[in-house]
Protein backbone atom coordinates (compact mmCIF):
# COMPACT_ATOMS: atom_id res chain seq x y z
CA UNK A 1 0.00 0.00 0.00
CA UNK A 2 2.78 2.32 0.95
CA UNK A 3 4.57 1.61 -2.27
CA UNK A 4 1.49 2.36 -4.29
CA UNK A 5 1.07 5.75 -2.65
CA UNK A 6 4.66 6.55 -3.50
CA UNK A 7 4.13 5.60 -7.11
CA UNK A 8 1.01 7.69 -7.35
CA UNK A 9 2.73 10.62 -5.81
CA UNK A 10 5.77 10.45 -8.02
CA UNK A 11 3.70 9.94 -11.15
CA UNK A 12 1.47 12.82 -10.22
CA UNK A 13 4.42 15.01 -9.39
CA UNK A 14 6.15 14.22 -12.67
CA UNK A 15 3.06 14.94 -14.73
CA UNK A 16 2.37 18.05 -12.70
CA UNK A 17 5.88 19.33 -13.16
CA UNK A 18 5.76 18.65 -16.87
CA UNK A 19 2.45 20.48 -17.23
CA UNK A 20 3.61 23.36 -15.12
CA UNK A 21 6.74 23.64 -17.22
CA UNK A 22 4.62 23.88 -20.35
CA UNK A 23 2.39 26.51 -18.86
CA UNK A 24 5.34 28.65 -17.96
CA UNK A 25 7.14 28.23 -21.22
CA UNK A 26 6.06 31.61 -22.50
CA UNK A 27 8.06 34.58 -21.36
CA UNK A 28 5.19 35.65 -19.15
CA UNK A 29 3.40 38.60 -20.69
CA UNK A 30 1.81 39.24 -17.34
CA UNK A 31 5.24 39.55 -15.81
CA UNK A 32 4.58 39.97 -12.10
CA UNK A 33 6.73 42.99 -11.41
CA UNK A 34 8.39 42.68 -8.08
CA UNK A 35 8.42 45.94 -6.18
CA UNK A 36 7.26 49.19 -7.68
CA UNK A 37 8.72 48.96 -11.17
CA UNK A 38 7.35 46.82 -13.97
CA UNK A 39 9.23 44.06 -15.71
CA UNK A 40 8.50 44.34 -19.39
CA UNK A 41 9.39 41.58 -21.82
CA UNK A 42 10.54 42.52 -25.32
CA UNK A 43 10.71 40.36 -28.43
CA UNK A 44 12.57 41.31 -31.54
CA UNK A 45 14.74 40.09 -34.38
CA UNK A 46 18.15 38.55 -33.90
CA UNK A 47 21.27 39.09 -35.96
CA UNK A 48 23.34 41.87 -37.43
CA UNK A 49 23.08 44.76 -37.76
CA UNK A 50 20.16 45.46 -35.40
CA UNK A 51 20.46 43.13 -32.43
CA UNK A 52 23.45 44.78 -30.70
CA UNK A 53 21.74 48.19 -30.77
CA UNK A 54 18.42 46.78 -29.55
CA UNK A 55 20.29 45.12 -26.70
CA UNK A 56 22.22 48.32 -25.98
CA UNK A 57 19.02 50.37 -25.62
CA UNK A 58 17.63 47.84 -23.15
CA UNK A 59 20.88 47.77 -21.19
CA UNK A 60 20.84 51.56 -20.95
CA UNK A 61 17.27 51.50 -19.71
CA UNK A 62 17.85 48.77 -17.13
CA UNK A 63 20.90 50.61 -15.85
CA UNK A 64 19.07 53.91 -15.51
CA UNK A 65 16.01 52.25 -13.95
CA UNK A 66 17.17 49.68 -11.43
CA UNK A 67 13.59 49.21 -10.17
CA UNK A 68 12.20 48.04 -13.47
CA UNK A 69 13.60 45.57 -15.88
CA UNK A 70 13.14 44.92 -19.59
CA UNK A 71 14.02 41.39 -20.67
CA UNK A 72 14.67 40.85 -24.38
CA UNK A 73 14.36 37.69 -26.46
CA UNK A 74 15.58 37.66 -30.05
CA UNK A 75 14.32 35.48 -32.93
CA UNK A 76 15.15 34.93 -36.59
CA UNK A 77 12.96 36.91 -38.98
CA UNK A 78 10.70 34.20 -40.42
CA UNK A 79 10.51 32.33 -37.11
CA UNK A 80 9.51 35.52 -35.31
CA UNK A 81 6.58 36.20 -37.63
CA UNK A 82 5.00 32.88 -36.64
CA UNK A 83 6.04 32.98 -33.00
CA UNK A 84 4.55 36.37 -32.22
CA UNK A 85 1.17 35.41 -33.66
CA UNK A 86 1.06 32.21 -31.63
CA UNK A 87 2.02 34.09 -28.50
CA UNK A 88 -0.66 36.72 -29.04
CA UNK A 89 -3.31 34.06 -29.58
CA UNK A 90 -2.25 32.24 -26.42
CA UNK A 91 -2.22 35.44 -24.34
CA UNK A 92 1.50 34.94 -23.83
CA UNK A 93 2.58 37.99 -25.77
CA UNK A 94 5.54 40.04 -24.60
CA UNK A 95 4.88 43.50 -23.21
CA UNK A 96 6.71 45.08 -26.14
CA UNK A 97 5.79 43.70 -29.55
CA UNK A 98 8.23 44.46 -32.35
CA UNK A 99 6.78 44.62 -35.85
CA UNK A 100 6.56 46.15 -39.30
CA UNK A 101 3.31 48.08 -38.83
CA UNK A 102 0.68 48.01 -41.59
CA UNK A 103 -1.57 44.97 -42.11
CA UNK A 104 0.02 42.89 -39.39
CA UNK A 105 -0.46 45.66 -36.83
CA UNK A 106 -4.03 46.12 -38.06
CA UNK A 107 -4.82 42.48 -37.28
CA UNK A 108 -3.46 42.94 -33.74
CA UNK A 109 -5.56 46.08 -33.35
CA UNK A 110 -8.72 44.31 -34.53
CA UNK A 111 -8.03 41.57 -32.01
CA UNK A 112 -7.68 44.13 -29.24
CA UNK A 113 -4.16 42.96 -28.48
CA UNK A 114 -2.28 46.24 -28.63
CA UNK A 115 -2.61 49.46 -26.68
CA UNK A 116 -3.87 52.67 -28.29
CA UNK A 117 -0.95 55.11 -28.01
CA UNK A 118 -2.72 58.14 -29.53
CA UNK A 119 -3.12 59.88 -26.17
CA UNK A 120 0.39 58.98 -25.13
CA UNK A 121 1.80 60.75 -28.17
CA UNK A 122 -0.70 63.62 -27.89
CA UNK A 123 0.44 64.32 -24.34
CA UNK A 124 4.10 64.11 -25.23
CA UNK A 125 4.40 66.35 -28.30
CA UNK A 126 8.14 66.63 -27.78
CA UNK A 127 8.48 62.87 -28.19
CA UNK A 128 6.42 62.83 -31.38
CA UNK A 129 8.46 65.71 -32.75
CA UNK A 130 11.64 63.72 -32.33
CA UNK A 131 10.48 61.11 -34.86
CA UNK A 132 10.21 61.43 -38.64
CA UNK A 133 6.56 62.29 -39.46
CA UNK A 134 6.52 59.82 -42.39
CA UNK A 135 7.21 56.95 -40.07
CA UNK A 136 3.83 57.23 -38.34
CA UNK A 137 1.78 56.17 -41.38
CA UNK A 138 2.31 52.44 -40.94
CA UNK A 139 1.79 52.79 -37.17
CA UNK A 140 -1.67 54.30 -37.67
CA UNK A 141 -4.83 52.21 -37.95
CA UNK A 142 -8.20 53.97 -38.43
CA UNK A 143 -6.65 57.28 -37.47
CA UNK A 144 -5.18 56.06 -34.20
CA UNK A 145 -1.55 55.38 -33.38
CA UNK A 146 -0.86 51.87 -32.12
CA UNK A 147 2.91 51.68 -32.29
CA UNK A 148 6.02 53.71 -31.69
CA UNK A 149 8.25 54.07 -34.77
CA UNK A 150 11.75 52.91 -33.88
CA UNK A 151 15.11 52.04 -35.42
CA UNK A 152 15.64 52.87 -39.09
CA UNK A 153 14.02 53.94 -42.35
CA UNK A 154 14.62 51.11 -44.79
CA UNK A 155 14.07 51.70 -48.50
CA UNK A 156 14.80 48.77 -50.79
CA UNK A 157 17.59 49.45 -53.25
CA UNK A 158 19.58 47.82 -55.99
CA UNK A 159 23.02 46.77 -54.76
CA UNK A 160 25.87 45.83 -57.05
CA UNK A 161 29.37 44.48 -56.65
CA UNK A 162 31.68 47.13 -58.12
CA UNK A 163 34.64 44.77 -58.31
CA UNK A 164 32.66 42.34 -60.43
CA UNK A 165 31.43 45.16 -62.65
CA UNK A 166 35.04 46.30 -63.19
CA UNK A 167 36.17 42.75 -63.82
CA UNK A 168 33.54 42.20 -66.50
CA UNK A 169 34.12 45.71 -67.84
CA UNK A 170 30.60 47.06 -67.59
CA UNK A 171 29.10 50.09 -65.85
CA UNK A 172 26.18 50.36 -63.47
CA UNK A 173 22.74 50.15 -65.13
CA UNK A 174 20.82 53.38 -65.70
CA UNK A 175 17.61 51.83 -66.97
CA UNK A 176 15.87 48.48 -66.92
CA UNK A 177 17.04 48.02 -70.50
CA UNK A 178 20.64 48.21 -69.26
CA UNK A 179 19.86 45.47 -66.74
CA UNK A 180 18.56 43.23 -69.51
CA UNK A 181 21.78 43.88 -71.47
CA UNK A 182 23.93 43.07 -68.45
CA UNK A 183 22.33 39.70 -67.70
CA UNK A 184 23.88 37.72 -70.59
CA UNK A 185 27.26 39.38 -70.01
CA UNK A 186 27.46 38.16 -66.43
CA UNK A 187 26.07 34.75 -67.31
CA UNK A 188 28.79 34.38 -69.95
CA UNK A 189 31.41 34.86 -67.23
CA UNK A 190 29.76 32.31 -64.93
CA UNK A 191 28.61 35.01 -62.50
CA UNK A 192 24.98 35.10 -61.45
CA UNK A 193 23.52 38.47 -62.58
CA UNK A 194 21.28 38.72 -59.51
CA UNK A 195 21.31 37.12 -56.10
CA UNK A 196 17.85 36.21 -54.82
CA UNK A 197 16.80 34.28 -51.69
CA UNK A 198 13.79 32.73 -53.41
CA UNK A 199 12.85 30.33 -50.62
CA UNK A 200 11.92 33.24 -48.37
CA UNK A 201 9.37 34.51 -50.92
CA UNK A 202 9.21 38.10 -49.60
CA UNK A 203 12.54 38.56 -51.31
CA UNK A 204 10.93 37.76 -54.67
CA UNK A 205 8.16 40.14 -53.72
CA UNK A 206 10.61 43.07 -53.59
CA UNK A 207 11.17 42.54 -57.31
CA UNK A 208 7.48 42.65 -58.04
CA UNK A 209 7.05 45.78 -55.96
CA UNK A 210 9.57 47.67 -58.04
CA UNK A 211 8.59 46.16 -61.36
CA UNK A 212 4.96 47.11 -60.77
CA UNK A 213 5.75 50.57 -59.50
CA UNK A 214 8.10 51.43 -62.35
CA UNK A 215 5.69 49.99 -64.94
CA UNK A 216 2.39 51.29 -63.65
CA UNK A 217 3.01 53.70 -60.80
CA UNK A 218 1.78 53.32 -57.26
CA UNK A 219 -1.97 53.41 -58.08
CA UNK A 220 -2.39 49.69 -58.80
CA UNK A 221 -1.27 48.58 -55.38
CA UNK A 222 -3.14 51.45 -53.73
CA UNK A 223 -6.31 50.02 -55.26
CA UNK A 224 -5.43 46.53 -54.04
CA UNK A 225 -4.77 47.91 -50.60
CA UNK A 226 -8.10 49.76 -50.66
CA UNK A 227 -9.82 46.46 -51.53
CA UNK A 228 -11.20 47.44 -54.96
CA UNK A 229 -12.55 44.40 -56.80
CA UNK A 230 -10.38 43.25 -59.68
CA UNK A 231 -7.63 45.72 -58.82
CA UNK A 232 -4.91 43.41 -60.15
CA UNK A 233 -6.58 43.30 -63.60
CA UNK A 234 -4.48 46.09 -65.02
CA UNK A 235 -2.62 45.41 -68.28
CA UNK A 236 0.48 46.83 -66.59
CA UNK A 237 0.35 43.99 -64.07
CA UNK A 238 0.33 41.34 -66.78
CA UNK A 239 3.18 43.14 -68.50
CA UNK A 240 5.18 43.31 -65.27
CA UNK A 241 4.59 39.61 -64.48
CA UNK A 242 5.67 38.64 -67.98
CA UNK A 243 8.86 40.66 -67.54
CA UNK A 244 9.58 38.90 -64.24
CA UNK A 245 9.14 35.49 -65.83
CA UNK A 246 11.38 36.59 -68.69
CA UNK A 247 14.07 37.38 -66.11
CA UNK A 248 13.74 33.86 -64.68
CA UNK A 249 13.95 32.38 -68.18
CA UNK A 250 17.07 34.45 -68.91
CA UNK A 251 18.73 32.96 -65.80
CA UNK A 252 18.89 36.38 -64.19
CA UNK A 253 19.03 34.74 -60.75
CA UNK A 254 21.64 32.41 -59.34
CA UNK A 255 21.42 28.66 -59.77
CA UNK A 256 19.14 27.19 -57.14
CA UNK A 257 17.69 30.57 -56.11
CA UNK A 258 14.46 28.84 -55.13
CA UNK A 259 16.26 27.04 -52.31
CA UNK A 260 18.24 30.02 -51.01
CA UNK A 261 16.89 31.33 -47.71
CA UNK A 262 17.26 34.91 -46.53
CA UNK A 263 17.43 33.98 -42.85
CA UNK A 264 20.94 32.65 -43.29
CA UNK A 265 21.97 35.72 -45.34
CA UNK A 266 23.15 33.39 -48.10
CA UNK A 267 21.81 35.81 -50.72
CA UNK A 268 24.03 38.61 -49.43
CA UNK A 269 27.00 36.27 -49.19
CA UNK A 270 26.60 35.59 -52.92
CA UNK A 271 26.98 39.30 -53.61
CA UNK A 272 29.96 40.04 -51.40
CA UNK A 273 31.80 36.87 -52.41
CA UNK A 274 31.45 37.89 -56.05
CA UNK A 275 29.33 34.91 -57.05
CA UNK A 276 26.56 37.32 -57.99
CA UNK A 277 26.80 40.81 -59.48
CA UNK A 278 23.62 42.51 -58.25
CA UNK A 279 20.89 42.17 -55.66
CA UNK A 280 17.62 43.91 -54.84
CA UNK A 281 17.42 44.12 -51.08
CA UNK A 282 16.48 46.35 -48.17
CA UNK A 283 18.84 48.99 -46.82
CA UNK A 284 19.42 46.79 -43.74
CA UNK A 285 21.45 44.52 -46.00
CA UNK A 286 24.24 47.12 -45.98
CA UNK A 287 24.86 46.47 -42.29
CA UNK A 288 24.81 42.71 -42.84
CA UNK A 289 27.32 42.93 -45.66
CA UNK A 290 29.48 45.22 -43.60
CA UNK A 291 29.40 42.85 -40.64
CA UNK A 292 29.89 39.62 -42.59
CA UNK A 293 31.64 40.62 -45.80
CA UNK A 294 35.10 41.30 -44.40
CA UNK A 295 36.76 44.08 -46.39
CA UNK A 296 34.11 44.14 -49.11
CA UNK A 297 32.18 47.19 -47.85
CA UNK A 298 35.11 49.16 -46.32
CA UNK A 299 37.10 48.75 -49.56
CA UNK A 300 34.30 50.32 -51.54
CA UNK A 301 33.25 47.11 -53.25
CA UNK A 302 29.56 47.74 -52.72
CA UNK A 303 27.55 50.03 -54.97
CA UNK A 304 23.87 50.98 -54.62
CA UNK A 305 21.14 52.92 -56.36
CA UNK A 306 17.39 53.32 -56.44
CA UNK A 307 15.79 50.75 -58.75
CA UNK A 308 16.20 52.17 -62.29
CA UNK A 309 13.25 53.28 -64.42
CA UNK A 310 11.67 50.91 -66.92
CA UNK A 311 11.56 52.26 -70.47
CA UNK A 312 8.00 53.34 -71.24
CA UNK A 313 6.87 52.81 -67.67
CA UNK A 314 4.40 55.16 -66.02
CA UNK A 315 5.89 55.03 -62.52
CA UNK A 316 7.80 57.89 -60.98
CA UNK A 317 11.45 56.80 -60.80
CA UNK A 318 11.83 58.53 -57.43
CA UNK A 319 9.30 56.13 -55.84
CA UNK A 320 10.59 53.55 -53.46
CA UNK A 321 9.24 50.71 -51.34
CA UNK A 322 10.37 49.25 -48.07
CA UNK A 323 9.87 49.82 -44.39
CA UNK A 324 9.22 53.42 -43.32
CA UNK A 325 10.37 52.31 -39.89
CA UNK A 326 10.13 49.45 -37.43
CA UNK A 327 7.45 49.49 -34.81
CA UNK A 328 7.09 48.71 -31.15
CA UNK A 329 3.58 48.11 -29.87
CA UNK A 330 2.47 47.72 -26.32
CA UNK A 331 0.51 44.62 -25.34
CA UNK A 332 -2.93 45.56 -24.04
CA UNK A 333 -2.76 42.52 -21.75
CA UNK A 334 0.27 43.79 -19.85
CA UNK A 335 -0.10 45.00 -16.27
CA UNK A 336 -0.29 48.72 -15.55
CA UNK A 337 3.20 48.74 -14.05
CA UNK A 338 4.64 46.98 -17.08
CA UNK A 339 2.92 49.44 -19.40
CA UNK A 340 4.41 52.34 -17.47
CA UNK A 341 7.85 50.76 -17.79
CA UNK A 342 7.35 50.34 -21.53
CA UNK A 343 6.18 53.92 -21.99
CA UNK A 344 9.16 55.17 -20.06
CA UNK A 345 11.32 53.06 -22.37
CA UNK A 346 9.62 54.74 -25.36
CA UNK A 347 10.05 58.28 -24.14
CA UNK A 348 13.60 57.98 -22.81
CA UNK A 349 16.21 55.64 -24.28
CA UNK A 350 14.48 55.01 -27.61
CA UNK A 351 14.86 58.66 -28.62
CA UNK A 352 18.10 59.56 -26.84
CA UNK A 353 21.31 60.58 -28.57
CA UNK A 354 22.96 57.23 -27.99
CA UNK A 355 20.05 55.48 -29.70
CA UNK A 356 20.37 57.81 -32.68
CA UNK A 357 24.15 57.40 -32.81
CA UNK A 358 23.84 53.63 -32.45
CA UNK A 359 21.56 53.20 -35.45
CA UNK A 360 23.73 55.53 -37.49
CA UNK A 361 26.70 53.37 -36.52
CA UNK A 362 24.81 50.29 -37.67
CA UNK A 363 24.77 51.82 -41.14
CA UNK A 364 21.13 52.83 -41.07
CA UNK A 365 19.10 56.02 -41.27
CA UNK A 366 17.36 56.46 -37.90
CA UNK A 367 13.65 57.27 -37.65
CA UNK A 368 14.76 59.88 -35.14
CA UNK A 369 14.72 63.30 -36.83
CA UNK A 370 17.77 65.47 -37.51
CA UNK A 371 20.27 62.65 -37.71
CA UNK A 372 21.87 63.87 -40.96
CA UNK A 373 24.62 65.70 -39.05
CA UNK A 374 25.76 62.35 -37.67
CA UNK A 375 26.43 60.91 -41.13
CA UNK A 376 30.17 61.39 -40.94
CA UNK A 377 31.72 57.93 -40.59
CA UNK A 378 32.57 55.30 -43.15
CA UNK A 379 28.92 54.80 -43.97
CA UNK A 380 28.14 58.48 -44.55
CA UNK A 381 27.61 58.20 -48.31
CA UNK A 382 25.26 55.25 -47.97
CA UNK A 383 23.29 56.95 -45.24
CA UNK A 384 23.02 60.21 -47.14
CA UNK A 385 21.80 58.32 -50.21
CA UNK A 386 19.24 56.32 -48.23
CA UNK A 387 18.05 59.47 -46.55
CA UNK A 388 17.71 61.16 -49.95
CA UNK A 389 15.87 58.20 -51.47
CA UNK A 390 13.49 58.08 -48.51
CA UNK A 391 12.80 61.82 -48.37
CA UNK A 392 12.68 62.45 -52.14
CA UNK A 393 10.38 59.54 -52.87
CA UNK A 394 7.07 60.75 -54.23
CA UNK A 395 5.61 57.55 -52.78
CA UNK A 396 7.30 55.46 -50.10
CA UNK A 397 5.19 52.31 -50.36
CA UNK A 398 5.11 49.79 -47.58
CA UNK A 399 6.19 46.22 -48.30
CA UNK A 400 3.15 44.41 -49.71
CA UNK A 401 3.18 41.47 -47.32
CA UNK A 402 3.24 43.86 -44.36
CA UNK A 403 0.59 46.18 -45.81
CA UNK A 404 -1.93 43.41 -46.53
CA UNK A 405 -3.73 41.19 -44.04
CA UNK A 406 -1.88 37.98 -43.14
CA UNK A 407 -4.43 35.89 -45.09
CA UNK A 408 -4.05 37.88 -48.30
CA UNK A 409 -0.29 38.14 -47.81
CA UNK A 410 0.08 34.35 -47.64
CA UNK A 411 -1.78 33.89 -50.95
CA UNK A 412 0.35 36.65 -52.44
CA UNK A 413 3.61 35.04 -51.32
CA UNK A 414 2.47 31.61 -52.46
CA UNK A 415 1.62 32.92 -55.92
CA UNK A 416 4.84 34.91 -56.15
CA UNK A 417 6.87 31.78 -55.41
CA UNK A 418 4.93 29.89 -58.08
CA UNK A 419 5.40 32.76 -60.54
CA UNK A 420 9.17 32.57 -60.13
CA UNK A 421 9.00 28.79 -60.64
CA UNK A 422 6.99 29.40 -63.83
CA UNK A 423 4.29 27.27 -62.19
CA UNK A 424 1.56 29.85 -62.85
CA UNK A 425 1.10 32.07 -65.88
CA UNK A 426 0.76 35.84 -65.45
CA UNK A 427 -2.98 35.56 -66.16
CA UNK A 428 -3.45 32.81 -63.54
CA UNK A 429 -1.50 34.93 -61.08
CA UNK A 430 -3.83 37.87 -61.65
CA UNK A 431 -6.92 35.66 -61.28
CA UNK A 432 -5.62 34.06 -58.07
CA UNK A 433 -4.75 37.41 -56.56
CA UNK A 434 -8.03 39.07 -57.51
CA UNK A 435 -9.70 36.29 -55.55
CA UNK A 436 -8.30 37.47 -52.22
CA UNK A 437 -8.62 41.24 -52.60
CA UNK A 438 -10.00 42.76 -49.43
CA UNK A 439 -9.70 39.50 -47.49
Partner 1 sequence: MTTLAPPAVRGQEPTRSSGGRSGSVLVWMVLPAFVMFIFFGIIPLFGVIALSFATWNGITPDIQLSGLTSWTAALTNPNLPNALWVTFLIMGLSWLVQTPLSILLGTFMARQTRYRGFLAVLYFIPLLLSSAAIAITYKSLLDPNFGLGAGLGIEALNQNWLGQANLAIATLIFVVSWQFIPFHSLIYQGAVRQIPASMYEAAQIDGAGRVRQFFNITLPQLKYTIITSSTLMAVGSLTFFDLIWVLTAGGPGDATRALAVQMYQLGFQASLMGPASAIAVILVLVGVGLSLLLRRIGGRADQSQLEGA
For partner 1, the binding residues (CB under 8 A) are 4, 7-8, 11, 14-15, 18-19, 81-82, 85-86, 88-89, 91, 107-108, 110-113, 192, 198-200, 254-261, 266, 269-270, 275, 405-407, 409-411, 413-414, 417-418, 420-421, 423, 432
Task: Rank residues 82 and 226 by Cβ distance to partner 1 and give the closer one.
Answer: 82
Q: Which long-range contacts (CB under 8 A, 24 or more apart) does 118-126 make?
A: 118/144, 118/145, 120/343, 120/346, 121/145, 124/347
| Burial tier of 348 (Cβ tally within 10 Å: 0-12, 13-18, 19+) | middle
Q: How far is the CB of 115 from partner 1 (least distance, A)?
A: 15
Report whether 103 contacts 225 (CB < 8 A).
Answer: no
Task: Rank residues 187 and 432 by Cβ distance to partner 1 and give the closer one.
Answer: 432
Phi, psi of 172 (to 5 degrees): -60, 145
Q: What is the dihedral of CA 267, 282, 171, 276, to 10 degrees?
A: 0
Task: Rank residues 110 and 311 by Cβ distance to partner 1 and give the closer one.
Answer: 110
Q: What is the dihedral of CA 386, 388, 389, 391, to 10 degrees?
A: 120
Task: Rank residues 16 and 230 by Cβ distance to partner 1 and give the closer one.
Answer: 16
Task: Rank residues 163 and 418 by Cβ distance to partner 1 and give the closer one.
Answer: 418
Task: Rank residues 275 and 314 by Cβ distance to partner 1 and give the closer one.
Answer: 275
Strands, DSSP E only, in 307-395? 320-323, 326-330, 365-366
Q: How far is the CB of 89 from partner 1 (least distance, A)?
A: 4
Q: How far is the CB of 266 from partner 1 (least distance, A)?
A: 7
Q: How far is the CB of 401 from partner 1 (least distance, A)?
A: 10
Residue 333, SS3? coil
Q: How far is the CB of 8 from partner 1 (least distance, A)?
A: 7
Residue 10, SS3? helix
Q: How far is the CB of 173 from partner 1 (least distance, A)?
A: 23
Task: Rank residues 105 and 389 by Cβ distance to partner 1 and give the closer one.
Answer: 105
Task: Rank residues 130 and 275 by Cβ distance to partner 1 and give the closer one.
Answer: 275
Q: How far is the CB of 162 from partner 1 (least distance, A)?
A: 20
Crossing angle of helices 426-434/235-249, nearest 10°? 130
Task: Rank residues 200 and 319 by Cβ distance to partner 1 and give the closer one.
Answer: 200
Distance CA(66)–CA(50), nearest Å, equals 25
Distance CA(111)–CA(114), nearest Å, equals 8
Distance CA(239)–CA(244), nearest Å, equals 9
Q: How far is the CB of 429 from partner 1 (least distance, A)?
A: 12
Report whether 389 contacts 321 (CB < 8 A).
Answer: no
Residue 148 parent element (H or E): strand 148-150
Residue 67, SS3? coil
Q: How far is the CB of 192 from partner 1 (least distance, A)?
A: 8
Amino acid sequence: MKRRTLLTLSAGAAAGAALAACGNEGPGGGGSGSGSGGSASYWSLSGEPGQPYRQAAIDRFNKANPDSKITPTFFQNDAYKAKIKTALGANQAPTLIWGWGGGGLKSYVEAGQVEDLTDFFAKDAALKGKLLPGSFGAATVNGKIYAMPVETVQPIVLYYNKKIFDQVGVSAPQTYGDILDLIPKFNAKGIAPFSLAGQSRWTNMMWLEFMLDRNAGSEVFDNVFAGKAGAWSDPAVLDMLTKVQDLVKMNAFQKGFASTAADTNADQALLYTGKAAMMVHGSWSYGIQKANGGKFVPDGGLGWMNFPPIDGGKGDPSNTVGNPGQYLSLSSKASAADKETAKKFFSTVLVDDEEKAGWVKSGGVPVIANSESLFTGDDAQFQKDMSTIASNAKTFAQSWDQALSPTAAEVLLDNIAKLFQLQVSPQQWVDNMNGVIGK
